[in-house]
Structure 1
Amino acid sequence: MTEKRKGARSIKDIPQEILEQLNQGKMETVNLTEWLAVDQKILLENLLKQNDKLHYLQPILENINTLKKQTVNTINEAIGTEIFNLTVKNNDKNFLDTVAKHSSDLVRCWATYTIGKNQNLSIAEKLDKIKIFVADHHFGVREICWMAVRSDISENLNESLQILSMWTSDKDENIRRFASESTRPRGVWCAHIEELKQNPELGLQILDPMKSDKAKYVQDSVGNWLNDASKSKPDFVMNVCEKWLEESPTKETKYIVKKALRTIQK
């Protein structure tokens, strides 16, 4: 199990046998170091061999080779995109299911893009289908899944915010956290959502219900959301924080407010 194994702190310290198993898709990564160390091209080839899909390899590698910059995230997206294209072309739903339920976290990351790139799905359908990955036990899958649908959220902002506002009361903290993390005005490793930078009040339907969330994972995301907003609308953030502290003087709210105001109070 993932929680029973401690990962190396640097890529050079990862034991060769562990790296081989990661590249074969036989185990999950346990930290960011391992996640960055996996050779996705080797993992892909092993996955395709194991499922008699080696004829998919060349088109996917060609897609990767067109990338202007090859990073873990761009390669991840390129593989997921081309897997989607090939499975659609070949009516290969079984392989799509295999990818979505695979034991390797990187392979499941690819699966999130098979949802994000499916333009036959409405934003409501995409969010419904991505939810299983939102609740994934692995940090990498949870991070990639919001990136896979963020552009759709941005393009369908009002509907997305309305849907995600209902996620803020879910018993799963990962699902609650996705509501704020996927809609951060600036975010990390992603395009900004200009509408939320200029009109952050639109996000209150998501933020207000989580202003005193018990999970630190959620608190960090809500605080970061407001910190993003403070860079373009500092007065809005200061007013929200003041209001929250009056309405909810809990240690959780105080922690969120401190995180939200860190740029303003520099």
Structure 2
Amino acid sequence: MTEKRKGARSVKDIPQEILKQLNQGKMETVNLTEWLAVDQKILLENVLKQNDRFAYFQPVLENINSLKKQTVNTINEAIGTSIFNLTLENNDSEFLQIISHHQSDLIRCWATYTIGKDQSLSISEKLEKIKIFAADQHFGVREICWMAVRSDISENLNASLQILSAWTSDKDENIRRFASESTRPRGVWCAHIEELKQNPELGLQILNPMKSDEAKYVQDSVGNWLNDASKSQPDFVKDLCEKWLDESPTKETRYIVKKALRTIQK
């Protein structure tokens, strides 16, 4: 079982048989080292051959090769975007279903961009479709899925915050975490949301319900959200943290506050 397998600490230590199976899409990666080691071009070629879609390979490869900078994330997006366009042209919803439920985490990552790039969907429809990926058991899919819809969230900020505020009470900590991680004012590997940098109070409908969340995964995200905000609106963050500590003097809130204030208190 994948969850019992321990991944190598460096790429050179990954057994060749494991790397072969990862590149064939026959198993998930178990850590960041493996995730970065997968050759997505080989994986793409294999999954297309396996599903009688090899005609898609050359157009996707051309888009990858045209990238100014090839990283795991840019290749992910290029493949997902290309597959979306090709399946749209060929009325091939079947292949979208195949990659959305594939056993390979990187292939599921591609599927998240087929949602983000679908301009026929409203923001509420995109968020509803991305939810299954936000709850994915794999860390890589959870990270890529919020990036796939980040620009849509930013462009439809008020509607997105209202929708995501309901996610903060979900029983799945991964869903709750998506609500805060996807709306971080500065975020990681993504464009900033200027409106939240200047007016972080807009995010209170997401932050307040999770000020004492039991999951460390969520606590880290909420703390990082506020740390982002502290770089442009430090007084807002300090005042909010004081309020939270007064209202909710729990160890969970104290942990979030410590993380939120780390830049201010340097």
TM-score of the pair, normalised by structure 1: 1.00
Q: Distance in 2 between matches of 1:240 and 1:8?
A: 42
Deviation digits for residues 9-51 of structure 1 (CA, Å, limit 9, x no counterpart): 0111101000000000000000000000000000000000000
1:78-97 alignment, distance < 5 Å? 78-97=78-97
Residue number in structure 2 paired with 1:159: 159
Deviation digits for residues 186-232 of structure 1 (CA, Å, limit 9, x no counterpart): 00000000000000000000000000000000000000000000000
Q: Distance in 1 between matches of 2:65 and 2:29?
A: 25
SS in structure 1 opposite 2:68? coil
Residue number in structure 1 paired with 2:213: 213
What residue ranges of structure 2 are gaps of 5+ in the alignment?
Answer: none
SS in structure 1 opposite 2:129? helix
Q: Distance in 1 between matches of 2:2 and 2:168?
A: 27
Counterpart code for 1:76: N
Residue number in structure 2 paired with 1:193: 193
1:237-248 alignment, distance < 5 Å? 237-248=237-248
Deviation digits for residues 153-211 of structure 1 (CA, Å, limit 9, x no counterpart): 00000000000000000000000000000000000000000000000000000000000
> Does residue 5 of structure 2 align to residue 5 of structure 1?
yes
Q: Distance in 1 between matches of 2:3 and 2:55?
A: 36
Residue number in structure 1 paired with 2:254: 254
SS in structure 2 opposite 1:121? coil
Residue number in structure 1 paired with 2:265: 265
> Does residue 20 of structure 2 align to residue 20 of structure 1?
yes
1:117-132 alignment, distance < 5 Å? 117-132=117-132
Deviation at 1:247, TM superposition (A): 0.2
Deviation at 1:52, TM superposition (A): 0.6
Q: Distance in 2 between matches of 1:106 and 1:65?
A: 19
Deviation at 1:66, TM superposition (A): 1.4
Residue number in structure 2 paired with 1:41: 41
Q: Distance in 1 between matches of 2:223 and 2:54?
A: 45
Residue number in structure 2 paired with 1:204: 204
Residue number in structure 2 paired with 1:144: 144
Q: Distance in 1 between matches of 2:170 and 2:142?
A: 16
Deviation at 1:2, TM superposition (A): 2.2
SS in structure 2 opposite 1:120? coil
Counterpart code for 2:15: P
Q: Distance in 1 between matches of 2:64 and 2:191?
A: 21
Q: Distance in 1 between matches of 2:199 and 2:136?
A: 31
Counterpart code for 1:169: S
Deviation at 1:3, TM superposition (A): 1.5
What residue ranges of structure 1 are gaps of 5+ in the alignment?
Answer: none
SS in structure 1 opposite 2:27? coil
Residue number in structure 1 paired with 2:171: 171
Q: Distance in 1 between matches of 2:9 and 2:244?
A: 39
Q: Distance in 2 between matches of 1:155 and 1:233?
A: 21
